Amino acid sequence: MEGKTVYSAIQPSGDLTIGNYVGSIRNWLTLQEEYDCYFAMANMHAITVRQDPAELRRRTLSLAALYIACGIDPEKCALYVQSQVPQHAELMWVLNTVTYVGEMERMTQFKDKSRKHADNINMGLMDYPVLMAADILLFKADLVPVGQDQTQHVEIARDIAIRFNNRFGETFTVPKALIMKQGAKIASLQDPAKKMSKSDENPNASVFLTDDRDTIIRKFKRAVTDSDDRIVVSEDKPGISNLLAIYASFTGKTTEECEKEFEGRGYGEFKLAVGETVADKLAPVQEEQKRILSDKTYLHGVLASGAERAFKVARKTISKVYRKVGFYQGE
């Protein structure tokens, strides 16, 4: 849709899973053809939990290379590292003054991460949704592609935008969540009741985009199923339903076609087929990521160009915001 802006970001805080690929990155390939897109490595969000600095830098570049390897075109979108655009933090500070502590304490992610990181409940953890609101509002994003579990953050961004506009006059575009339906949720291979997560403690629960072929196939062979032998999508067969969803996502087939393909065949044969299909699809992406990472001049150039493009828009937004709130900006 011409004239519409999309903003999305992923933290470089762990290896991405096939769930991230199907639910986020692959959808961006379509979005970059239809919208004015800003895609970021959200390294400022990442430090709300403790990070090894050298590892964070490595993962940031690795993630950028992965985006490009997956088909994100730096000519069609602004691909950049969040910390390279200081207006993210500047806008967050202003938005903090129209955000209430009670709202932040009620955020699901804050409560979850506080439980997981009880020894490090820092202000950044609480402020995370305000920084996310700043990310979105900085570029006047109309749409924010999210999974069902992230809609709360878009809602708080909407509330903050409306509150600021009511207090200071029309400033921000009020964003909408763009729920990516196909493949929006790929479940854990070990607990299909949970979303596949890059931070899962069980090494067999998640398939990472960087896993080698043998590891991918081994993880699928160990995936939980159930006692009967039918390969169909059913509420009482969450493990098989999840594997069918993955197979459909990586082959482009419908789940009905997948069910027909494996009718009368055993679980072992089915799980091997899913693993091989995923491994085959990821192999060229992995090769291209390695090639891009070996060409540091190209990669740094792409990120510098993306940051420059993002900076120009962000600077205009922050100047307008500063004027609205009464900050002196010189003559």
136 by DSSP, 3-state: which?
helix
Is-catalytic flag, 198? yes
The Cα–Cα gap between 245 and 226 comes to 16
CA distances from 306 to 69, 291, 303 (A): 16, 20, 5
Active-site option among 113, 140, 219, 271: 113
Single-letter amino acid, residue 69: A
CA atoms within 13 A on the CB side of 91: 35
Q: Are 318 and 87 in contact (CB under 8 A)?
A: yes
SS3 breakdown of the chain: % helix, strand, coil, rounded to 5?
A: 60, 10, 35
Residue among 195, 219, 237, 271 flagged as catalytic:
195
Q: 144 CB contacts (<8 Å, ≥6 apart)?
A: 6, 7, 8, 136, 154, 157, 175, 176, 177, 178
> What is the DSSP secondary structure assignment for residue 79, as one 8-state letter?
E
Q: Which of 177, 180, 143, 172 is nearest to 35 (CA)?
A: 143
Q: Quick check: is 316 catalytic?
A: no
| Angstrom distance (rounded) from CA 158 to CA 145 | 14
Tokens of 327: 């900050």
Is residue 281 flagged as an active site residue?
Answer: no
Catalytic member of 76, 198, 221, 253:
198
Residues carrying an active site annotation: 113, 195, 198
